[in-house]
Each structure stands twice: as structure tokens, then as C-alpha cells.
Amino acid sequence: MFEWQLNDLYESYESEAFQQDLASLDAFKIEMESLSFEDTIEAIKAVIDVKERLYITVRRLSAYISLSLSTNATDEVSTNYQNVLGNKLNQLTKYQAKMDRFIGETQVDISKDAELAEYAFYFKEMKESANYLLSDEVEATISKLGRSAGHAWSSLQGYLTSQAEIEFQGEAKTLSELRNLAYDANAETRKAAFEAEIALYDQVKDAVAFSLNNIKSQVLDVSKMRGYESPLEETLIKSRMSQATLDALLTAIQEFLPTFRRYLKHKASVLGHENGLPFYDLFAPMGDANQTFTVEETKTYLVDKFSQFAPDLAEMTATFYEKDYMDFYPRKGKRGGAFCSNLPFIQQSRIMLNFDGSLNNVLTIAHELGHAYHGTKIQSHRPLNWSYSMPVAETASTFNEAIVMNHLLEEAASNDEKVAVIEQYLQDVTQIIVDIYSRYLFETEVFENRKSSFMFAPQLAEIMLNAQKKAYGDGLDEESLHPYMWINKSHYYSTGLSFYNFPYAFGGLFSRGLYEQYLAKPDGFVEQYSKLLETTTVASVEDTAKVMGLDVSQVDFWRTALSGIETYVDEFIELTSK
């Protein structure tokens, strides 16, 4: 089936008829002024039809490859398919560029046609992106070289971090397994696992440093060629987000860093540390956190809680368990972390996890199911309207976490249970605000340094440590930070997706602001929320927020979203000071 779809995709674009259609596009643009509105619209529809078919086929094949390799990095068949598909797409790049340029330079008012009007936002974006398109030949060359450049370096990082093992307490442990032990109730286990993790990175740090340097070098070169001021500007444009919104978000985060440091220092003192919290105790459980869950228990719990918010969310959740749409357990060759892959072409999604039964894992499942729920709200759009930008990508996922956390707090039977829930919440929010800020600082400096120099592993480690010191301050023990966090995070290793850090902060705070709205005025909220999720693929970040009457370009919104966190910090300190 894979080969058939691949060959059909390629042969259709190599056909004589298609070649003639492409060759006629340039001439057609010259003749458009003399053509009737109806003829012009029909020509545009023909190009859109081609792009839709291409998009669906490529996304289907890419999803198959990506999901296969995420669960087994040594899958030779999928690795081969990945290379074959990449080569085919390289050969199609010049055609894609020609079609994109045609749409971007088309001046006809498509709003007068009901069918094309659905693509109004898409056409607007295409017109803007046309300013950054290079010649068809150069676009094809960039794509072709990228297969053996940025994409290859990214694959190397994924392969090395998924395959690396080290002996720990008499057993071979992978990176994912060691990182899961950061949540272990035993302090000695957490510290030993952290030390083993650092030692494991020693095995791959030099090769991964070359990956990071070369990926960032390629991004800088191509971004400059296209005419962007910087990779950050390119990311903001692709994120459908203004610099003003990012500035407002970062300003609010910087203002609230002392609040997070107060929480971290208090947690450190409770755990017996004098100079701030060691990195290996960031995720140390507190209170009555001994509760564990089986997979079936997570299903029962989540379906029950989600049904109280939105019946369709609960129904979707049950379906994921019943139809095995989630890959739960860690194993060698499987990548770390968790993710959800939306598959709108079959109106489904798939989720990958590394489940160990902890409370944190329940929240992770809820988070990824939020991505899947978001997918159900955009799959009714036409294919070229299926993609949402990075900042809003974390909205539904983090909103789901808020639902679960609120129920856990309400159900806490004792102060110890309440401490466990609040501390879990503060762990999570510290990651999406403080740690994300450190990652933003790190990537900013890496891009700046890469303009003039190559950074070996020790220098990258130093940049990472400095970024953590600026973000965490005296909340963490400076003698026990994480110098290799840059190896662990796959978000750095993409030529097409830079600065995949601040979107987590945006999504986390945006969704928490939405959840406060829901608690204050639940009537009609779910319907409006569904509309917001549906809008994410056809509007800017700012216009999407306006669906709920919010202005995310103003720092006051983010201050309000952050202010609720201080209440939890105060309550945590009070409960653990007795």
C-alpha cells in the first residue's frame, strides 16, 4: 500500500498533462486580466485540488513513517520509506513552489466564490509567505540538500538518544527509563538516576553537539536567504503570532520568576537542601503521592472527569482506550516523552507515552488527549486548513490538565493529599514557564553564537547552565544543574521548527486563563471553547483569542493568568510549613 501511494503520488506529478499545467501557470498569470472571473476561479480551484491531494497523501505517508520510528527507532523498513519519501518530495519541491507562488501572486477576490472563500485565511498567508519564497530551482535545491543535512542530523540525535543505555542498579536502562525515575519516591534513587542520566549523555554528547550546530547553521543560512530578519522572526510569522504578544508574555514571565523561586527554595528546605533545589529533586513527590494507576484505572478516572466538562471529550477518551490508539510503555528503541499525532485524513489521532503508573502519567495522558480533542475540532475543515500554529497547539492539552488538577484538589481527603496535588501542579507550571524560559534563552544564544563559531559540547553545556541560572535563579542549587538538557529535548533538532519553547508557555498560560473563565461562567463555555479550537487553524493567535474576548498582546492578560499561580505557591508553603 505504501509503495502504491508513493508511486501514484510521484507519477501523477511527472505526467505530461501536469507538466503542461505547471508550464502554463506563468503564462496564465499574464493573461489573467483578460480572463473572465469564472475562468480565473476555475483555474485557481484546479491548483487547490492538486495541493489538497498532495497534502493528504504526503501527510498520510509521513504520519505512518513518523509513528513507526517513534516507537522503534531501529525499524529498517520505515527508515527506508523515510528516505524514499524524502527523495520523492525533493523532486516535487519545485512544483510546490510554483503552485505556492501562483496562489501568492493571484489577485482575484476569492471571497466571491463560496467554495474558495473557505480558504480566505490560507490565501492571505500564502500571499505573505510569497515574499519569502526563493526561485523554484533554489527551493528544490534547499529541499534536496536538507535530506542529507538538517534532517539527517535530526535523525542522528533521535537515534542516539533512543538507543543509548547504561547500567543502573544491575540493569540496562534507557534514557526514558532513567528520566522516569526523577519522580521516584526514594531520594537516593532520584539522585542516582540523575547521575546515571548525566553519565549516559557523556556517551553521545559530542555527536549530538555536531547535530545541533549543523541544524542551527542551516536554519540561519536559509532564513537569511529568504529575507527574514532572524529565525525568531520566521518562527513568529509561522506561528501566526506578533512580536508584541511574545514580548508581553516574556515580560510577565520575568516579573513572576521570584514567585517560582520562592516555591523552589521552600521545597528545597522541606527536602533538607540548604542552597536551593538540586535539579534531581525538581520532580520529587511530596505529600501523599504514593498513589499509582493501572492503565485501566486511568481510563475510568479520565472518562469520569471529562464527562463532567464535555461529553464528546469523554466519549473520545473511551474510544482511545477501547481501540488501542495509545502506545503506553517504554522500551528500547522507543523515543522518550509523549506526543499526540493528529490524523485528520482518517478523523483519528494516535498517542505515544512512556507510562509508569504515576500521577504525573495520568496528567500526561490527559494532556495528549487534549491534543486529540483539538484534532476533532479542526478535522471538518478543508485539508489546507488542518494545521494550527505552535502557540495554540498547547491550548486544549493544558486545558485538560487543568480539568484533572481541579478535580484532584477537590477530592483530596487530607492535607497530605492536597500537598501532593498542589506540588504536582507547581512542578508542571514551573516546567512550562521557568524551564521553557531557560530553553528560550539557550536557543537564542545558540543561534547568536552559531553565526560566527562552532560550539562543542562543553560550550553548549555552559550556555545551558547559564540559561538555567538566569531562569531559575537561587531557586535551584547552582552546583547541581542539568548541563545536558540540550541533548534531551528533541525540539531543538529541526530545521523547520525553531524556538519550539515559548509556545508551551503561551499554551499553558492561555489555557489556564480560559479555565478560570470556565469556572467563573460555565454556561455556554464549552460551545465557545469548541469554536475557539476550530478557529485556531484559520486565524492568527491574536484573533483566535478574541473568540473568547481576550487580548493576548497586552501584558495584563498574562499577569492575570500568572497571578493564580501565586495563590498555589502560598498554599503549598503554608501546608508544608507545619
Q: Given pLDDT bands bounded at 50, 70 and 90, which one contains residue 1? A: very low
- How far is 166 from 74, CA to CA, in rounded Å? 18
The residues near 292 (Cβ < 8 Å, ≥ 6 apart) are: 357, 358
Q: How confident is the model at residue 26 (pLDDT cuts 50, 70, 90)?
A: low
Closest CA to 375 of 345, 398, 400: 345
> Average pLDDT for residues 19-35, to the nearest whole number?
55
Torsion, Cα 314 317 322 323, to 10 degrees, reads 130
Amino acid sitting at position 245: T
The C-alpha cell that represents 349 in the structure block? 489521532
Distances (CA, A) of 102 to 40, 46, 51, 129, 307: 12, 12, 12, 12, 47
**Which residue's C-alpha cell is 482518517?**
346
Cα-Cα-Cα-Cα dihedral of 252, 258, 259, 263, to 10°?
Answer: 140
pLDDT, residue 2, reads: 46
Residue 476: which pLDDT band, with cuts at 50, 70 and 90? very high
- Contact (CB, 8 A) for 507 and 393: yes
> What fold is seen in the domain 229-288+424-576?
Neurolysin; domain 3 (1.10.1370)
Which sign does the torsion angle of CA 345, 531, 372, 79 carry? Answer: positive
pLDDT, mean over the chain: 89
> What pLDDT digit, counting tens, does each position of 127-182 carry?
998 889 888 788 878 887 887 889 899 989 988 998 899 999 999 998 888 998 99
State CA 476 to chain mean position distance: 26
Beta bridge partners of 341: 350
- pTM of the predicted model as reported, rounded to 2 decimal places: 0.84
% of the chain surpassing 70 pLDDT: 93
CB 430 within 8 A of CB 569: no
Q: How far apart are CA 456 and CA 279, in angstroms?
A: 23
DSSP secondary structure code for residue 381 in this structure: S
Task: Tell me the pLDDT tens digit for each residue of 477-523.
Answer: 999 999 999 998 889 999 988 999 999 899 989 998 899 889 989 99
Q: Are strands 348-352 and 171-174 parallel, antiparallel or unpaired?
A: unpaired
Give the residue carrying C-alpha cell 505552535. Answer: 390
List all residues 6 or more positions away from 296 whose beta carbon is below 8 Å from its beta carbon.
321
Q: Are 467 and 449 in contact (CB under 8 A)?
A: no
Whether pLDDT at 35 is above 50:
yes
pLDDT in tens, 241-263: 999 999 999 999 999 999 999 99
| pLDDT greater than 70 at residue 90 | yes
List, for residues 178-220, the tens digit of each pLDDT value. 998 998 889 999 999 999 999 999 999 999 999 999 999 999 9
How is the chain split into domains, by residue range?
A: 16-131, 229-288+424-576, 295-411
Give 38's pLDDT tier (boundaries 50, 70, 90): confident
Whole-angstrom Cα distance, residue 229 to residue 103? Answer: 24
Q: Which of 7-16, 85-94, 102-111, 297-306 has maximum average pLDDT?
A: 297-306
Amino acid at 36: S
Bridge partners of 342?
349
Residue with cell 493567535: 541
Q: Which three cell numbers stand for residue 49?
A: 485540488
**CA dist., res. 271 & res. 264, Å (int):** 11
